[in-house]
Amino acid sequence: MALPYVIEPMTPADLDEVMAIERASFPLPWSKRAFLSELSLPYSVFRVARLRREEWGRVAGEVTAPRRWWSGRRSRPERPPVLGYTGFQVILDEGHIMTVAVHPEHRRRGLGTLLLLDLFEQARLRGVRRLTLEVRVSNLAAQRLYQAFGFHLEGRRLRYYGDGEDALIMWSETLDSLESQARLEALRGQLLARLEAQGVPDSGAGDFVR
């Protein structure tokens, strides 16, 4: 089946929509300047997800009023709006996941899983052998998602976040290992089956992860 979404590089033109998702997803959101800084770095990879044009205004069989997406604008935007995004940095043969987020109106539809599958593929294409990340101790849903992708706990950063909360340090399996490839293929198959079933909700985990 054809996926209803496309995932492509993030550009500065996407940042107004990205910032709306960012503010709705995180208690300590990044600034627009922080995103612009990341986009200027040759070792940063930031991607956005959109509906395919033919699916614009319809997600998992549910009609969405198109005017929501350009309310306040003078004219309809030239392309479908950003529904979610990911970002990671490549450091030698390691990748550091910076962020994953999905628009609140499009969570629980597997988009977070799709974005992470794309992130793994983009990392592999750039020679990354393992991925790492920090996640809030209290963010159990995100931890479960990462465990499903083969991440395991390897450490803890005390008072890592601006509000004083600790972060857990997690690392993935080696991306080119048979175990990792089999795991990703199984996750891809489960996602395709869910989308083919016209949007049966998943747990919602992973729709905003930092």
d(CA 143, CA 148): 9
Cα–Cα distance between 155 and 177 in angstroms, integer? 23
Q: What is the DSSP letter of 75?
A: S
Residue in 146, 160, 161, 185 annotated catalytic: 146
Please check whether residue 87 is in contact with residue 44, taking contact to mean a CB–CB distance below 8 angstroms: yes
Active site residue 165: no
Please pick, among 22, 134, 160, 161, the residue that the annotation labels catalytic: 134
For residue 41, the tally of other CB atoms under 10 A from its CB is 11
For this structure, is 134 an active site residue?
A: yes
Q: Are 108 and 204 in contact (CB under 8 A)?
A: yes
Rama region for 32: left / alpha / beta (φ>0; ψ in -120 to 50; rest): alpha
Contact 171, 131 (CB under 8 A): yes
Radius of gyration for the chain, computed over Cα atoms and rounded to the nearest angstrom = 17
- Maximal C-alpha separation, the chain: 51
The structure tokens listed for 76 are 């309809």
- Active site members: 134, 146
